[in-house]
Amino acid sequence: MKITIIGTGYVGLVTGACLAEIGHDVFCLDVDPRKIDILNGGGVPIHEPGLLELIERNRRARRITFSTDVAASVAHGEVQFIAVGTPPDEDGSADLQYVLEAARSIGRYMNGFKVIVDKSTVPVGTAQRVQAVLAEELAKRGLDGSSQHRFSVVSNPEFLKEGAAVDDFMRPDRIIVGIDDDANGELAREKIKRLYAPFNRNHERTIYMDVRSAEFTKYAANAMLATRISFMNEMANLADRVGADIESVRRGIGSDPRIGYHFLYAGCGYGGSCFPKDVQALIRTAAESGQNLRILEAVENVNDEQKDVLVQKIVKSFGEDLTGKRFAVWGLAFKPNTDDMREAPSRRLIAELLTRGATVSAYDPVATDEARRVFALDLAGVPDQHARLTFAASQDETLKGADALVIVTEWTAFKAPDFEYLKDTLKAPRIFDGRNLYEPDAMAELGFDYHSIGRPHVRHASDAAAPAA
């Protein structure tokens, strides 16, 4: 089938490359010529494991094309995926301007039946707005949407984890498709069934429902996962107070099949492009419908406060004024295997350390360039703080002259460092671990003053210089 992907961001590129991989003829459109130049030059504007190789393989097979030509993109695809950004507006609602502009572009140029698929994460009722925009553009052309200018708007939300998106797409747990029950919907269903047929050969993974339910399903899924994270973080904070070990608790409750182990790891808060934005958008949708989502409001508040937990532990150890102190920070991206800095806990942590007078040397395996850009904006009004932030070329380089190591992202490279080198290089053997990578007892035996999230703080007996927390 001929497929058009509108938007070459995270969702659009993964969707386009994976659909090309199973044999479809894919045209990827973006209005940003910089992105298209990168893609046509053999690069990828985002970091996602396996994506570059997938794109290159399908480019050589001539199954994927990248262009800024809007008219050509509309003419190409019988199925048009809208995969543009829906950033949070000032009030927390999803900003649909890019989605609606994509729909206008389709309406301006479409000829023949088109299936328009909302792949972007959008609030309930967006398909109806997209449908209205398409009808409006056809009317401007003197067309009424009948005969060869018919269309159907479908909801097909993505369920991709950054860092594992290619595998998630190629081996989906489920494919959610929302289609209206009318004549155009029947034809759209046939096309969508053909499109996803390769994923349903072993067993049917596609779940069909009405459009509004499909739109709602995406938000509900992300809200549930965010809730599990905030729940465990709140339990971890209580474990700190009562002397329990949150890792033991996690194993104990996760063994219950009704609960399971997924998304039950305590840490220094979630970030990224999905959970913060989608929780806020769902809260806003509820408010517009006259309902308060009290659980999700609490989830958001807990996560916001959790991003300060590491700073609180550092202040308890060093005092409020961190002037003259130097901290090594490992991990900048909001999670491993991505360079995404959106809502990353590292941003709050580093900003707080700098505000208190500290110097920071930070390292991330892939997100350093993006972090430079983000912090240049975040700290634009405070040049003295920006001058105290440096980015190291390696994790070991950050340790030189540092008073403590702070771990923010659970990259594999951080899970088994050379602890003797680490202890010898730091001014004092002190670690603040926001992802519980190490065992407290083992760290105490190695001579470290080790602070984690929701786990007993065990200080080595001989480490008299390290203050108790």
Catalytic (active site) residue 18: no
Task: Give the tens place of pLDDT for each residue, 134-143.
Answer: 999 999 998 8
Q: What is the CATH number of the domain that holds 266?
A: 1.10.1040.10
Task: Looking at the structure, tell me whether residues 294 and 385 fall in a common domain.
Answer: no
Q: Are residues 144 and 261 in the same domain?
A: no
Q: To the nearest whole percent, how much of the chain has pLDDT over 70? A: 97
Name the phi and psi angles at 35, rounded to 5. -65, -45
pLDDT tens-digit readout, 222-244: 999 999 999 999 999 999 999 99
More confident residue, 147 or 250: 250
Number of domains making up the chain: 3
CATH of residue 6: 3.40.50.720
298 shares its domain with 313: no
Domain end point (choices 159, 175, 209):
209
Do 301 and 350 belong together in one domain? no
Question: Strands of 175-178's sheet, edge to edge?
Answer: 64-67, 25-29, 2-6, 79-82, 114-118, 151-155, 175-178, 206-209
Q: Indicate whether 465 belongs to any domain.
A: no
pLDDT tens digits for range 411-435? 999 999 999 999 999 999 999 999 9
Q: Are residues 261 and 155 in the same domain?
A: no
Q: 133, 100 in Cβ contact below 8 A?
A: yes
Query: Does 245 lie in the same domain as 170?
Result: no
Lowest mean pLDDT among 7-16, 90-99, 346-355: 90-99
Same domain, 258 and 169: no
Active-site residue (options: 18, 28, 268, 274): 274
pLDDT for res 146: 62
CA 100, distance to chain mean position in Å, is: 23
Residues 71, 128, single domain; the answer is yes
Q: Is residue 154 part of a domain?
A: yes
* pLDDT at 203 (0 to 100): 87
For 201-218, what is the mean pLDDT?
A: 94
Cβ neighbours of residue 28 closer than 8 Å, sequence gap 6 or more: 4, 5, 8, 12, 13, 16, 39, 64, 65, 66, 67
- 163 and 338 in contact (C-beta within 8 Å)? yes
Considering the domain architecture, whether residues 23 and 160 belong to the same structural domain is answered as: yes
Residues 195 and 230 in one domain: no
175 is a domain residue? yes
- As a whole number, the mean pLDDT across the chain is 94
Query: Each residue of 94-127: b (16+ CB within 10 Å) or e?
Result: bbbebbbebbbbbbebbeebbbbbbbbbbbbebb
Whether 214 is in a domain gets the answer: no
Range of the domain at 226: 219-305
pLDDT score recorded for residue 94: 87
Residues in the annotated binding site for NAD(+) = 30, 35, 86, 121, 162, 277, 342
Pick out the residues of the known binding site for substrate: 159-162, 218, 263-267, 271, 335
Of all residues in the chain, what percent carry a pLDDT higher than 90? Answer: 91
